[in-house]
Amino acid sequence: MPEELRPKLINLRQLSIYSNIPLSTLRRWASERRFPLYKISSRVMVQIDEFDNWLEEYKINPYEGGL
Is the pLDDT score of 3 beyond 80? Answer: no
| CATH architecture, domain defined by 3-56 | Orthogonal Bundle (1.10)
Sketch the domain layout of the chain as residue ranges.
3-56
pTM: 0.79
Q: What are phi and psi of 66, to 5 degrees?
A: 70, 155
Q: What 3-state class would DSSP assign to 10?
A: strand
Phi-psi region at 14: left, alpha or beta (left = phi > 0; alpha = psi -120 to 50): alpha
Q: What is the pLDDT of residues 9-64, one digit of tens each?
A: 999 999 999 999 999 999 999 999 999 999 999 999 999 999 999 999 988 877 77
